[in-house]
Copies of this chain bind each other. A is one copy, B any other.
Amino acid sequence: MIRAGVVGATGYAGAELVRLLSGHPGAQVAAVGSRSSAGKPLSEIYPAYYRLCDKVCGPEDEVIAKSDVVFAALPSGLSQELAAKCREAGKAFVDMGADFRLKREEDYQTWYKGKFVFPDLHEEAVYGLPELFRGKIRGGKLVANPGCYATAVPLALAPALEAGLASSEGIVADCASGVTGSGRKPTQNTHFAELNESMTAYKAGCHRHTPEMEQTLRAVTGKDVSLTFVPHLLPVSRGILATCYARLAPGATMEQVRAAYEARYGKEFFIRLLPEGRAADIKNVRLSNFCDISLHLDRRTGTLIAVSALDNMVKGAAGQAVQNMNLMFGLEETAGLTAMPPAF
């Protein structure tokens, strides 16, 4: 059994990771860490876990010592030092935060106002989007788990762009996320009475996942891709829906587009390309590691509309982290991630 440690276990992503690992056939939660709730059992924070995970939150160093792999669910900027400690201790590391996602330090400086403290760690870090970069993740020791939107949008667009069937200019990624994406800390705009019956855009055109999406699509296509990304906050708990718009290339047909997606994703367990006539819905992937994708065409304007749906806490965070762990340790890639999404 792989011993897994979770630093930042009391945040939503950390707690979800504990839930997923608890059902994993080849791994187990060895230790949980939290600064804010040190000394408290995790089930005091999350009563749903009562008697199922009553482990007490301890300090980071203890988590590292007890684990073969350390997952970090920390605010931006706090993972670099932890990654260094893990490397020193010879432990695998999966960062669920943003510290190791951007490969170009100037991007990190621009968008996160931070710098690369240990450049060699950044060199070593692998970007953990398995469906696009599986080969690099296998056997890796330091994996940067992608952002939630930065998983949904590139998965929706990659096959069309890679095959040259859609223009890499003028792309619009209009996304909506459930509220768990903004974390466990109560705020005014996530107070039930304020979010209920609400929908609004935020960080329109300036969200930090933008350069991450562009980096991924650049890696896939081999050329610069720019897109306009606007996220919205939804009154639901879980889920990201990404509605992506790209102009079809001259002469390209939807048959070709569909074939490109089937070629790319046909054997992927976690990507479900929906039959024509269906549309991806966040409801259908809840609590699962699936990413559903549906393809639509606006014939009048020649626009490809690719819609992806995933659970921001699973494929957008903890589930993908487990998928990455499976690849890092040579386990079955789907291990611990095969539970059916509930129908309602």
Contact = CB atoms under 8 A, between A and B. Distances in A.
Interface of A: 12, 15-16, 19, 22-23, 46-53, 170, 172, 174, 176, 178-180, 184, 186-188, 190-202, 204-206, 210, 226-230, 232, 234-239, 241, 243, 245, 247, 272, 274, 278-287, 292, 294, 296-301, 303, 305, 307, 309, 313, 338-344
A340 B186 contact: no
B283 A204 contact: no
Contact of A281 (B49, B199, B228, B341): B199
Contact of A190 (B192, B284, B307): B192
Contacts of A227: 301
A283 B115 CA distance: 39
Nearest to A12: B344
Contacts of A210: 300
Nearest to A51: B272
Given A179-B192, A204-B279, A272-B50, A344 B237 contact: yes
A196 B237 contact: yes
B15 A279 contact: no
Contacts of A201: 241, 243, 279-280, 294, 296, 305, 307
Given A12-B193, A197-B282, A205-B300, 15 more contacts: A16-B343, A47-B281, A49-B341, A50-B274, A53-B340, A180-B193, A193-B344, A194-B283, A197-B197, A200-B309, A204-B243, A205-B299, A228-B245, A230-B305, A235-B236
Given A197-B238, A235-B192, A243-B201, A284 B343 contact: no
Contacts of A16: 342-343
The count of identical subunits is 4
A273 to B, nearest CB: 10
A239 B198 CA distance: 8
Contacts of A339: 23, 339
Contacts of A296: 201, 204-205, 230
Contacts of A236: 196-199, 235
A191 B188 CA distance: 9
Nearest to A269: B51
A199 B235 CA distance: 10
- By CB atoms of chain B within 10 A, which of A202, A274, A284, A297 has the most? A284
29 contacts: A12-B193, A16-B342, A16-B343, A19-B340, A23-B339, A48-B342, A52-B340, A172-B172, A172-B245, A176-B176, A176-B232, A178-B197, A179-B192, A192-B192, A197-B197, A197-B236, A197-B286, A198-B281, A200-B281, A200-B282, A201-B280, A201-B294, A204-B307, A205-B300, A210-B300, A227-B301, A228-B305, A230-B245, A235-B236
Contacts of A313: 344
Nearest to A22: B340
A316 to B, nearest CB: 14
A278 B189 CA distance: 13
A16 B284 CA distance: 14
Contacts of A200: 241, 279-283, 309
B192 A237 contact: yes
B235 A47 contact: no
Contact of A47 (B22, B170, B230, B278): B278
